[in-house]
Amino acid sequence: MMDMVVKLPSVNPVILVCTALLCSLAFLYVRSRSGRHSSSELPPSPWRLPIIGNLHQLGGNAYQSLHALSLEHGPLMLVHFGLVPMFVVSSGELAREVLKNREVEFPGRLNTEAYRILFEGGEDKLFSPSWTQTRKICVIEVLSPKRVQALQFIREEEVASMVAKLRRLADERHSPADLSDLFLTLASTIFSRAVLGLESAEQGGRESNRVIGQLVREASSLLNDVVASGAYIPALSWLDNLRGLYRKTKRVSQAINEFLDRVIDERLEIRRRSETGEGGEQETGDPKYFVDILLELQGRKDVMGGHELTRKEIRAILLVMFIAGIESSTLTLEMTMKELVKNPRIMRKLQQEIRSVVGNKSEIHQSDLSQMEYLKCVVKETLRFHVALMVTRQASNKDSNLGGFKIPANAAVVINMWAIHRDPATWDRPMEFMPERFLNTRYDYTGQDDKYFPFSLGRRICPGVQFAMFSIEYALANVLCWFDWKLPNEICAQSFGMSDDQNLPLRLMPLPFAPASQI
């Protein structure tokens, strides 16, 4: 589960036309606001337009556009997203200052209206600096290695179910597999079962898993969509209302809360019946799911530093687990397969490693993953190349200094991880997908340096790293061990992957493969 990232959409032409009509009236206002700080105190800034600021320079991928601007204006620059000033960091050294060394000076997280609605006030309980104790408990109790290992059976069952579907498609030999959908279903189901204790599809939990998966997708989409106008140009917030975005956000929030409340009530009833001996659903030795552990902690004021977890806070923790975990896991799986198909040499090398470790066994064990070094290199390279985009922080209520420049109180700071992970001063041939760069290096998923940190830095590093990586590596090992892959006939290999649109489904042809002993 990654630290939630900023994804800015391409600029809507209608918005630009509307704002252009207001430029003449707002010009003096913008100038008066920009004069509050001496220009020599602030970082360099590209020229901007009234009201829309630098939005017109962002293009389709904001992180790439900001990277291009940083090459001209430096690793710390001031960019205006509409009327909102953003201090953009494109240096690993400065990112480490913000995220780890001086995190007390940058403790906040930017909250859009959608964020405030979905999280019932905007407090991200899993990452909020005022909830250090809650986070510590989550890491120790909910996401400890022991707990993660205890739920391995869920990953094994759901990956086996996915492999069975792929084998049916492979037997047909004319139907491509929609890996985007399969990976999304896999991630949603694994998290639904591990976090909420829902049943597998085979046990009758298909509809519940589908519902929470759909709600999480809608919530994630809303978090990325509502920022398009009102968050950065308040005068245009009426456009968000006109489009019904806030109304939809409230509907999704209510549906998520009702679903989580229903699950929580069911888990409480199971606990009550187990304690009284009426049902025995949760006998000694049965796994405890994440929601069960949170419910156990609810009344433990001694553990929670004198505070008792409320139902609202438990819902917030569960929701951020879902949004961060499902989205990042799905994207990592999908982008890894996309890169492997674009790079047949890498795919062959990875398959050879996986198949040599598995040998003549009919299934892959979790312990096998420790011998798959190149698999870990491929996943690390995917995280460097695709997944980590931009992370935001908000300064404290006091002015601070960063890189020799003033950062005003409560200012927004954007960490452009896309640029940092492509810094030519750090990475050899940074624009190439090259897993070998991670062989025999100290880089790991937890990012303890200022060059590679896909799951953020410092105390607020994503606590679900181990759970997510186990799931991703295990799924990839199975997909690549039991199948060979090729593009559908209608897709040209030369054109595959030319588009960066992650909304396009990844469709590939699975070809069955079996160990020699099974042929």
The full set of domains in the chain, from first to last, is 40-278+286-499 (1.10.630.10)
SS3 477: helix
Q: According to the model, what pLDDT value does residue 438 have?
A: 93
Q: How do 405-407 and 76-81 pair as beta strands?
A: unpaired
Closest CA to 161 of 103, 201, 106: 201
469 burial (CB, 10 Å; 0-12 / 13-18 / 19+) is buried
DSSP state of 142: I
pLDDT band at 501 (very low <50, low <70, confident <90, very high): low
**252, 255, 258, 263: CA torsion to nearest 10:** -100
Determine phi and psi for 254, rounding to 5 degrees. Answer: -65, -40
Q: According to the model, what pLDDT value does residue 174 have?
A: 72
Kindly report which listed range (45-54, 103-112, 391-400, 495-504) carries the lowest average pLDDT score.
495-504
Instruction: Say yes or no to pLDDT of 22 above 60.
Output: no
Q: According to the model, what pLDDT value does residue 357 have?
A: 96
Determine phi and psi for 21, rounding to 5 degrees. Answer: -65, -25
Element (H, E) at 415: strand 412-416
pLDDT digits (tens, 9 = 90+) for 118-155: 887 655 555 555 556 666 666 677 777 888 888 889 99
Distance CA 293, CA 201 (A): 23
Q: According to the model, what pLDDT value does residue 2 have?
A: 42
Q: Exposure string (b/e) for 127-143, b if CB count within 10 Å is 16 or more?
A: bbeebeebbebbeebbb
pLDDT digits (tens, 9 = 90+) for 53-106: 888 888 777 888 999 999 999 999 999 988 889 999 999 999 999 988 888 898
Q: According to the model, what pLDDT value does residue 139 have?
A: 67
Query: In the numeric block, which tokens belong to residue 197?
Result: 């204790």
| Average pLDDT, rounded, for the chain | 80
18 is in an annotated binding site: no
Percentage of the chain lying above the pLDDT 90 cut: 34
Query: CA gyration radius for the chain?
Result: 24
* DSSP H stretches of helix in 343-464: 344-358, 373-382, 417-420
Instruction: Say yes or no to pLDDT of 386 above 50.
Output: yes
Q: According to the model, what pLDDT value does residue 322 have?
A: 85
Cβ–Cβ < 8 Å for 203, 215? no
Residue 508: strand pairing partners = 177
Q: How do 405-407 and 400-402 pair as beta strands?
A: antiparallel
DSSP state of 423: -
Residues 6+ apart with CB under 8 A from 308: 298, 299, 301
pLDDT digits (tens, 9 = 90+) for 323-339: 888 888 999 999 999 99
Cα-to-chain-centroid distance, residue 140: 21
Query: In the numeric block, which tokens belong to residue 185?
Result: 């279903």
Mean per-residue pLDDT, 10-17: 46
Residue 485: strand pairing partners = 510
